[in-house]
Amino acid sequence: MTFEIWIAFVFAASANILAPGPAIVLAIRNGLSLGMGKTIYSTLGNVVAIGCVGLAVTFGLGTIITAEPKILSVLQIMGGSYLLWLARQNWQRGMISLDHLSVDDIDVADDKGNTGADTNSIARSVASPRQFQRSAPYLFRQSLLVGLTNPKMIIFLLALFPLFLNTKAATTPQLLVMTITFMGLSFLTLSSFAFAAVKFARLIRQQSVVELINKLIAIIFFGFGSSLIYFGQATL
C-alpha cells in the first residue's frame, strides 16, 4: 500500500467514523457522566471491536456473509435489541449524572447568591438518585458489544477495504494496516467527543438539563435500535 493510497483511505475512513452512530453517543454519554478517566475504557472497547471485525474481514468474513446473508440480519437484530435496552436504561434510570465533578468544576450559587456550596450538596443537586457507578470492565464490555453488533461497521469495512487494495501485492498486510489505521482514527475521534462532553458537563447547572439529556440520549438509542431491528427483520 502506497502512502497516497493510505492517505485516501484515512479520509474515507474518517468520513465514516465521524458519521453519528451508537459509539459516538455512548462516548458522549460516558464523558458527561463519568469523566475522561473512565470513558477511556469505553473507547478502548469500541477500538477492540473494530480490530476484531477488521481481522474477521481480513480472514474471510465477507465470504461467509455472502454465502449466508442471514448472519448479518441476525447481527442487526441483536445490535438493535441491545441499543433498545440501553435506551430503556437511560430513560428509566437516568444514566447521566455529574457527581464525578469536584467543587472546582462546578461553581453553583446558593439562594443568597453566594458560591462555593458544599460538594455533597452539589452532587445531590445534579445526580439521579438511581445513578450507579459503572466499573471500567463494565464500560469496556458495553462498548465492545455495541461495536461487535454494529452491522454498519461490518458493511463499511467489507465495502471499503477492497477499494484500497493493491491486487499485485500481498493482501493480508494491507488489510492489517487498514484495520490498525481504522482503530487509531476511531480512538482519536471517540476520545475527542468524550473530552468535549467532559468540558460541556462543567457548564450544566440544573437537574432539569441533566434529565433532558438523559431523555434525548435514550431517544437516540431507541432510534438506532429500532432501525436496526426493522432492517434486520426485513432481510431475514
The answer, yes or no, to whether residue 121 has pLDDT greater than 80, is no
What average pLDDT does this structure show over 204-214? 70
**Residue 138 placed within a domain:** yes
**C-alpha grid cell for residue 35?**
469523566
pTM over 0.85: no
When divided into structural domains, the chain yields a total of: 1
d(CA 51, CA 127): 35
The whole-number pLDDT of residue 47 equals 92
Alpha-carbon span 50 to 93, nearest angstrom: 29
Q: Is residue 3 part of a domain?
A: no
What pLDDT is stored for residue 205 in this prediction? 60
Q: Which three cell numbers stand for residue 159?
A: 465495502
Domain membership of residue 202 (yes or no) is yes
Burial class (CB in 10 A: 0-12, 13-18, 19+), 15: exposed
Average pLDDT of the residues in 67-84: 76
Q: Is residue 210 part of a domain?
A: yes
Q: Is position 14 within any domain? A: no
Question: Checking phi first, is residue 60 left (phi over 0); if not, alpha (psi -120 to 50) or beta?
Answer: left
Round to whole Å and give the CA distance between 202 and 213: 14
Q: Which amino acid is at 73?
A: S
CA–CA separation, 128 vs 21, rounded Å? 25
218 is a domain residue: yes
Within-domain flag for 94: yes
Average pLDDT along the chain: 75
Per-residue pLDDT reduced to its tens digit, 108-118:
434 444 444 44
pLDDT of 152 higher than 60: yes
Q: Quote the domain boundaries for residue 184.
A: 26-31+38-234
Whether 219 is in a domain gets the answer yes
Which grid cell is 162?
A: 477492497
Instruction: Look up residue 64 and give its three cell numbers.
Output: 461467509
